[in-house]
């Protein structure tokens, strides 16, 4: 098995992130530091360590969905000393976050010790939809929504099209649904910046067929077999 795949399967990080970890010299195989990509290991015989600690394949996989609040970073340890989503989770196994949400964005995110599942959900070639509820100040015009649907132009480059639906206007704030199937950095916020709209609240409510539902902010819930199977069966 390729070393990056083994590390990912052990729940260290996504496969792409594991490549970075290997290149940084944080991984050893049978006591020897490995800094080259493409190395293979025998998962039954070789001893693999990350940051000096031996890692092994999980005997049982854990899949959780979390309703991330604003004010939490999607990382194991934050260089700025901010609270992280792992402060919200009690688990005796090493978990990784599947993708990310901005510090000021709330909503649905997955946590697991199955690196292959994480790679599956986040890999750009599979185009799993992500739905966000966006709240902005004032009343949005249909012409603005049309621009978002067609793909806004940022610095001369057209961003991907999006599915955009008006949800409500309460006299002060407009709420819309935005569905994207690509994972560009800060994509939704950048879309609204391009039309001169500042987002008041950004909340992810769906990934693929899995919805946030009534999950309380800051709480986790095990994913169902059907929810897990959706991603494994639709690739």
Pairing between β-strand 199-207 and β-strand 106-112 as defined by DSSP bridges: parallel
Distances (CA, A) of 218 to 61, 66, 96, 126, 213: 22, 7, 16, 28, 13
d(CA 55, CA 13): 12
**Nearest one of 138, 212, 106 to 88, comparing CA atoms:** 106
19, 51, 102, 181: the active-site residue = 102
Cα–Cα dist 67/219, whole Å: 6
Q: How far is CA 162 from CA 115, 143, 149, 151, in A?
A: 28, 14, 5, 7
> Sign of torsion, CA 188 121 89 210?
positive
Catalytic residue list contains 102? yes
Q: In whole angstroms, how far apart are CA 168 and each of 116, 165, 205?
A: 39, 10, 16
Report the catalytic residues: 102
């Amino acid at each position: 098995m390729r070393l990056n795949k083994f590390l990912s399967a052990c729940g260290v990080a996504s496969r792409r992130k594991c490549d970075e970890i290997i290149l940084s010299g944080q991984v050893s195989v049978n006591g020897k530091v490995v800094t080259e990509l493409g190395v293979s290991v025998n998962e039954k015989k070789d001893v693999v360590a990350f940051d000096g600690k031996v890692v092994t394949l999980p005997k049982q996989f854990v899949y959780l969905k979390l309703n991330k609040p604003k004010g939490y970073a999607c990382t194991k340890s934050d260089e700025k000393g901010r609270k992280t989503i792992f402060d919200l989770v009690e688990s005796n196994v090493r978990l990784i976050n599947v993708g990310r949400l901005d510090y000021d964005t709330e909503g649905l995110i997955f946590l697991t010790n199955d690196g292959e599942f994480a790679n599956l959900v986040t890999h750009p070639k599979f185009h799993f939809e992500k739905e966000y509820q966006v709240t902005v100040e004032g009343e949005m015009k249909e012409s603005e929504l049309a621009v978002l649907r067609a793909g806004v132009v940022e610095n001369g480059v057209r961003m991907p099209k999006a599915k955009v639906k008006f949800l409500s206007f309460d006299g002060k704030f407009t709420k819309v649904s935005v569905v994207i199937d690509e994972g560009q950095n800060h994509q939704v916020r950048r879309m609204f910046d391009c039309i001169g709209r500042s987002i008041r609240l950004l909340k992810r409510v769906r990934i693929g067929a899995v919805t946030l539902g009534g999950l309380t902010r800051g709480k986790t819930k095990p994913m169902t077999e059907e929810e897990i199977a959706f991603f494994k069966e639709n690739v």
